[in-house]
Chain A
Amino acid sequence: MAGDTTAGIGQDGAALREPGLSEAEAIAAFPKRLKLETRHLDVYYDDFRAIKDVDLKIGANEITALIGPSGCGKSTYLRALNRMNDEIDGARTQGQVLLDGQDVYLPETDVVELRRRVGMVFQQPNPFPMSVYDNVAYGPRLRGRVSAGEADEIVESSLQQAGLWDEVKDKLRRSALDLSGGQQQRLCIARCLAVAPEVVLMDEPCSALDPTATFRIEELMLELKKSYTIVIVTHNMYQASRVSDRTGFFLLGELIEFDETPHIFEHPRDERTDAYVRGRFG
């Protein structure tokens, strides 16, 4: 169910190369297989320009981390990718978000379909007030009747992938709200995976969790990137450096720097990035 989601993307690195870069630099700087890309992306809240002209390329089966101080627009950027900003009164988006080369902001886009392909895990663990089982089956059931057997299968495999199955297999009918915070967040990940997305957006998924639970989620992410493309917004630079392949640094709505994660943390090109990753502000 999960394994085939990235098939058929295969754009090669050469096509993405920017003029002026050597081939080696181009390969280093940009993902080989592109999944998502934004071009000249602007997001406004009424008159406030929260995201300013952001160009970013997100590679398939990679973890892309977005870091930056509070209010820098990284969450807004993330929500632009599955059009969740549409739900916010007064929010407007300009520019392009290309998912497999298709602009998702075209008027003919089926937003419901887009959100099935680009799933999201939120900052607060937010299971629905229903059973563990019903939480995971929620997404699949939206598409129409699901037989009990199918649902059982999806629930089990999603919980397996989220590393939660062994802990909850005996309490599937219990309320999801009885789980611990870390379990709830993994349940939310399982619920997201049950829809069989191609991309998983994570908006500070560990900020409400303790270090042990955080560690489990990070392990899980490394496992999940084999099958999914992951974009994570995080406050925690160490988390970005531990799990991500590439990191983008946002400041006041601008993408200051985007590169492979070790580069960002060890040899940032921009002094603002340098100041931030050394913990001088933010």
Chain B
Amino acid sequence: MFLLLRLCTVAIVVPVLVVVYFVFIGGLPAISWEFLTQGPRNGMLEGGIMPAIVGTVYLVAGTMVIAVPLGVLAAVYLSEYARRGPLVRLIRLAITNLAGVPSVVYGLFGLGLFVLLLNFGQSLLAGCCTLALLVLPMVITASEEALRTVPDGIRHTSLALGATRWQTVRRVVLPNALPGIITGVILSVGRCAGETAPILFTCAAFYMPHLPGGIHDQVMALPYHVYALATQVPGAPPRLKWGTALVLLAFVMAVNGVAIAWRARLRRRRR
């Protein structure tokens, strides 16, 4: 039985290692200062991917600016304020279903709502809004879980000391739930950095000679750049694709690493 469990674990870890291995082998030769700091040249056959890196950073940052406050506050409502009842059940059902919607549907929805109806155009703004919708269920669910792990005793103690509900949430519940909330945010950063479909119709540029100047500009993004190099640019050297994928992977891992370290520090401090 123990062996079986161990095999299952190995079966999960091995593909991850294999993927990382191949991305590194394929991508490492492409990595250079020039690759990281310059734009593509010569019809994307040469040059670097700097605009795509910057674009992805902008997209992730913008998405988090929208999704984290919205998601955390929604979770606070569900966990701290809402009384059990049909409305809350309906909201939870909606969140669960939202989490299961394929990402291309988000892309189309974003195109319909943000790009066309709200007239944001294909822009960083529309892309961030779309990605925010995509990761919102993840942020809400993780935050709610984190809030639920805060013992009720802490809430009751605070209330019994004459704190209002909001004071209780802000001063003791949220700080205690923070490590768990950060976990949810980490997961969603990885998700939104890597998604292609939602940005395909809403903001991604095939090629831009300059960096985005504002939220109404289109942007290049790493996952879309991989997709473009692989399917839209005949004769593009494979190392460019691998190199881009490697940068994407490294970016997500770096963000996760920083967030995990931060979470660990918070946990230590709360001991």
Interfacial residues, chain A to chain B (CB-CB below 8 A): 82, 84, 87, 89, 112-113, 115-116, 119-120, 122, 124, 126, 128-129, 138-139, 142-143, 175, 177, 188, 191-192, 195
User: What is the CB-to-nearest-CB distance from B80 to chain A, in angstroms, rounded to a whole number?
Assistant: 11
Kindly list chain B residues whose C-beta atoms are within 8 Å of the C-beta of A195: 161-162
With contacts A122-B157, A126-B157, A142-B167 known, is A115 near B162, CB below 8 A? Answer: yes
Q: Mark B56-92, 1 if CB is under 8 A from A, else 0.
A: 0000000000000000000000000001100000000
A112 to B158, CA, bound (A): 11
A82 to B167, CA, bound (A): 18
Kindly list chain B residues whose C-beta atoms are within 8 Å of the C-beta of A122: 153, 156-157, 160
A113 to B158, CA, bound (A): 13
Q: Are A128 and B159 in contact (CB under 8 A)?
A: no
A190 to B210, CA, bound (A): 62
With contacts A89-B84, A128-B172, A175-B271 known, is A115 near B157, CB below 8 A? Answer: no
Question: What's the A-B contact tally at a CB cutoff of 8 Å?
Answer: 60
Kindly list chain A residues whose C-beta atoms are within 8 Å of the C-beta of B162: 112-113, 115-116, 139, 142-143, 195
Q: Which of B125-179 contact A (CB under 8 A)?
A: 151, 153-164, 167, 171-172, 176
Q: Are A84 and B160 in contact (CB under 8 A)?
A: yes
- Is B270's beta carbon under 8 Å from chain A? yes
Q: Are B271 and A84 in contact (CB under 8 A)?
A: no
A129 to B177, CA, bound (A): 12
Kindly list chain A residues whose C-beta atoms are within 8 Å of the C-beta of B154: 126, 128
A229 to B157, CA, bound (A): 19
A192 to B160, CA, bound (A): 9
Interfacial residues, chain B to chain A (CB-CB below 8 A): 83-84, 151, 153-164, 167, 171-172, 176, 270-271
A113 to B155, CA, bound (A): 17
A140 to B177, CA, bound (A): 23
A142 to B170, CA, bound (A): 11
User: What is the CB-to-nearest-CB distance from B87 to chain A, in angstroms, rounded to a whole number?
Assistant: 15
Kindly list chain B residues whose C-beta atoms are within 8 Å of the C-beta of A142: 161-164, 167, 171
- Mostly, the B contact residues are helix
User: What is the CB-to-nearest-CB distance from A124 to chain B, in angstroms, rounded to a whole number?
Assistant: 6
Q: Which 9 A-B pairs have the closest CB atoms?
A: A116-B162, A120-B160, A139-B161, A129-B270, A115-B162, A126-B153, A142-B163, A112-B162, A126-B157
Q: Are A87 and B161 in contact (CB under 8 A)?
A: no
User: What is the CB-to-nearest-CB distance from B85 to chain A, in angstroms, rounded to a whole number?
Assistant: 10
User: What is the CB-to-nearest-CB distance from A198 to chain B, in angstroms, rounded to a whole number?
Assistant: 12
Q: Are A84 and B156 in contact (CB under 8 A)?
A: yes
Q: Are A87 and B156 in contact (CB under 8 A)?
A: yes
User: What is the CB-to-nearest-CB distance from B158 to chain A, in angstroms, rounded to a whole number?
Assistant: 7
A195 to B163, CA, bound (A): 11
6 new A-B contacts, CB < 8 A, other than A139-B162, A175-B271, are A122-B156, A126-B154, A129-B270, A139-B161, A143-B162, A177-B271
Kindly list chain A residues whose C-beta atoms are within 8 Å of the C-beta of B156: 84, 87, 122
Q: Are B164 and A112 in contact (CB under 8 A)?
A: yes
With contacts A87-B155, A89-B83 known, is A82 near B271, CB below 8 A? Answer: no
A116 to B84, CA, bound (A): 28
Q: Are A138 and B271 in contact (CB under 8 A)?
A: no
User: What is the CB-to-nearest-CB distance from B74 to chain A, in angstroms, rounded to a whole number?
Assistant: 20
Residue pairs across A and B with Cβ atoms less than 8 A apart, 22 shown, are: A82-B160, A84-B159, A89-B84, A112-B162, A119-B161, A120-B160, A122-B153, A122-B157, A126-B154, A128-B172, A129-B176, A129-B271, A138-B158, A138-B171, A139-B162, A142-B162, A142-B163, A142-B167, A188-B157, A192-B161, A195-B161, A195-B162
Kindly list chain A residues whose C-beta atoms are within 8 Å of the C-beta of B176: 129
With contacts A89-B83, A138-B171, A177-B271 known, is A128 near B157, CB below 8 A? Answer: yes
A123 to B83, CA, bound (A): 26
User: What is the CB-to-nearest-CB distance from B97 to chain A, in angstroms, rounded to a whole number?
Assistant: 25
Kindly list chain B residues whose C-beta atoms are within 8 Å of the C-beta of A112: 162-164
User: What is the CB-to-nearest-CB distance from A46 to chain B, in angstroms, rounded to a whole number?
Assistant: 12
